[in-house]
Structure 1
Amino acid sequence: MEPFVSQAEAAEIVKVARTRAGRSWAEIAEAIGRPAPWTVAALLGQHPVPKDEAEKVGELLDLDAAVVEALQAQPTRAGIGDAIDDPTIYRFHEALAVYGPAIKELIHEEFGDGIMSAINFKVDVQRREDPSGDRVVVTFDGKFLDYNW
């Protein structure tokens, strides 16, 4: 029997294996028929990967059975911990600190009393060329959930 591999260990193994295999995240996502943001999040331990998809990733990246098993486990989703120190992640926090209250007001004005789901949710990341420097376009697409009393 293979030794146990945690989701955190599996995520690190996947990152190294992907680089060594010369595969892009987009290529892996296409191979399993999933959007790239979901695929990356899942392979980093934020979603359970269905068995057939985990096995396909295992084949693509030459992963051990224990890693493939770990990819299928139900994750414990928690705060980002030390990742807040990463400049890219920090900038998202900064943007939400500045624009979050305005976005909240606009959601309430447009939809009423409720929230955007982060469970029934999609995210997309695109590059947009711009003469002053390429732009990062991040789209959050969450279902509106009204408060029911």
Structure 2
Amino acid sequence: MAISAITEQLLAAKKAKGVSFTDLETLLGRDEVWIAAVLYLQASASEEEAQKLVEALGLGSEFVEVLTQYPLKGSLEPTIPTDPLIYRFYEIMQVYGMPIKAVVHEKFGDGIMSAIDFTLDVEKEEDPKGDRVKVIMCGKFLPYKKW
């Protein structure tokens, strides 16, 4: 998976400052996953949000314009991802995608879950057998229109 040179600079500045996504969430009042999407150029920040991010990362004002541009969404290559964590999400969709689709259709009807009117939260759930990753996706249901 290729990461843009701009994202590399943003992440390097974040690391150099010792700032976490949770720290940035507190600063901006936006979810840490959304902030990560901004740094990976998959979401766009407002001018004010971009300015706060750039200042927190100790970067020049030229990054404000970059972070406020409308992104070209979708950064995965068209091949099967090889990063183990990202691959597991691919595997989950391969195994459970059709069952999830069937359950959504049964509960809501023929339609999709929006990825625009959408939130995604990542939580750590402590467990004596090994901590758990809890991913919560919440998207508006959009029924297919008949005409």
Q: Decide: shared fold, TM above 0.5.
A: yes
1:13 and 2:28 correspond: no
Structure 1 CA distance for aligned equivalents of residues 25 and 36 of structure 2: 8
Q: Secondary structure at the match of 1:75?
A: coil
| Paired letter, 1:140 | M
Shift of 1:42: 1.2
After TM superposition, list the pairs within 5 Å mapping 1:1-149 onto structure 2.
8-81=4-77, 84-149=81-146
CA contact (8 A) 2:44 2:68 kept: yes
Measured after TM superposition, the shift of residue 8 of structure 1 is 2.6
Give the distance between the partners of 1:141 and 1:44, measured in 2 at CA: 21
Q: Distance in 1 between matches of 2:112 and 2:23?
A: 33
Q: Post-superposition shift, 1:66?
A: 1.7
- Per-residue CA deviations over 1:101-149 (Å, capped at 9, x if unaligned) read 1000000010011111111100000011112111000011010000111
Supply the distance in 2 between the matched residues of 1:147 and 1:46 (Cα, whole angstroms).
Answer: 26
Query: 1:10: Cα distance to partner?
Result: 2.2
Deviation at 1:79, TM superposition (A): 4.4
SS at match of 1:46: coil
Where structure 1 has 5 or more consecutive residues not aligned to the other structure, the ranges are: 1-6
**Separation in 2, partners of 1:97, 1:13:** 33
The answer on whether the counterparts of 1:29 and 1:39 sit within 8 Å (CA) in structure 2 is yes
When normalised by structure 1's length, the TM-score is: 0.91
Q: CA deviation at 1:9?
A: 2.5
Within 1, Cα distance between the matches of 2:58 and 2:75? Answer: 30
User: Normalized per residue, which structure has more helix?
Assistant: 1
Residues matched between the structures, number = 143
- Distance (whole Å) between structure 2 residues aligned to residue 79 and residue 51 of structure 1: 23
Q: For the residues of structure 2 that align with 1:79 and 1:62, how far apart are their CA atoms?
A: 26
Shift of 1:83: 8.6
